[in-house]
Structure 1
Amino acid sequence: MGHNHIPNPETTLNDYSVLHRAETRGHANHGWLDTHHTFSFANYHNADRMHFGVLRVLNDDRVSEGMGFGTHPHDNMEIISIPLDGDLEHKDSMGNKAIIKHGDIQVMSAGTGITHSEYNKNTNKPVKFLQIWVFPNKKGVTPRYDQITLNVADRHNRLQQILSPNPEDAGVWIHQDAWFHLGRFDKDKGTDYTIQRKGNGVYAFVIKGSFTLGNVTLNERDGLGIWNTNSINLKANSADAEILLMDVPMAL
């Protein structure tokens, strides 16, 4: 791969792919937070799962009613939150206070340093969201916050761009040559995805349902990383199947 991440041979489909089944992820249940870690995080450490290229963290979080993450710091990391269900209240040291919900994408460039908190103010249901960290391509940037609301209908049976390196493009932007897409597909529908930048790989994460990528079947919360390829084919095996593609540089 040309960098520190050496895939575990047991989960390698070929020389240029790595498979992470949902049940093999790290797991922690703190009562108020039930979380699964695709890559090493907090008390979960797996030398074979430190990152996929510049994709450092993929956490699948469930925050209980009235609970949340207290104020804590970050620096020199691009942090993306994708709410799946419920509302999450965000406050940070830049003076931002916002609610993010399903259909929204939130991004923070931690840069020289920020602190923030995230709370589920709902009293009747948990919040489910994906928290993703990407190593930036430049350090010491001025911290920034952004969030957008996307039209979920625009990802029906196709891929909707939700993130890129370009502030002028669709979705949010980050300090990295990365592109994220979300898609919701009917059974037997699918598409081809072309890698956006030579040398990038793509990490696919199934949010709901089942997909076939190439010759690999992925079920809910399974992840598959592929590199040294120009494109991938995906097809939904179930109704209302949802997938996230993260197209990222492989070299740190």
Structure 2
Amino acid sequence: MNLNPIMLAAGAEILRIYATDFAVMSKSDASPVTAADQAAETVILKGLRELAPDIPVVAEEEAAAGRIPQTGKRFFLVDPLDGTREFISKNGEFTVNIALIEDGIPVMGAVFAPALGRIYWGATGKGAFMADISDGAVGPARQIMVRPAPAALTAIGSRSHGGAETEAYLKAFAVAEFKPAGSSLKFCLIAAGEADIYPRMGRTMEWDTAAGDAVLRAAGGRVETLDGRPLAYGKRNTPGETDFANPHFVAFGDPAIESRCPAP
């Protein structure tokens, strides 16, 4: 199943609006949204209906409008524009995200950073890859994988959502460098061996993480809750919690890093 044509079409819509003086609106949870979020999601939903009409799609803007299908064991998770704040500030660190979930596991995913001209994808048992985008076409694929963990790690974290809790968590490790980055690029940079660990102590939803999680797992990394369980998908009807909300988690490359993680 090749998601890349859908990713490129959505990215083209985003860049079309990116070049304009676009308006910024607020959703019911006060998070920002633009016409690019909505236009990209429309393209993705159409593309997935044509590619896999029998697989339900849970998409961020559809979910915000209360339109969430029954999912079963197999469904797509879509974030049409992850890193809306990066899009608004025009720093390029925003992505298009599509993941396929099976039995709560992200088994396939693609992450496209249209302003950076870079796409990542991966699938269980098939490895992870990246390529440059030029003139709307995907260049040669390069396989990526996590790197062996050095003694002093390179940590990566949110450009827009950092905090004291993340800093406190990282004190348990020897950290040589901290790299800020936006959107699901953080997972992809670990997958490509450019960083080692990404703790997230703030609010995220499953569509924020699923595609990057799939790429990272395919590259040999892990994404776990703070008590060491793999981050699961398709969470619904949890008492006191919003459907599809994630707990705090940590993503890391080399599985050996897990032994250094502090106890919950």
TM over 0.5: no
The structure with the greater share of residues assigned to strand is: 1
Query: So what's the TM-score if we normalise by structure 2?
Result: 0.29
The structure with the greater share of residues assigned to helix is: 2
Q: Which has the higher contact order (CA 8 A, sep 6+)?
A: 1
Query: So what's the TM-score if we normalise by structure 1?
Result: 0.30
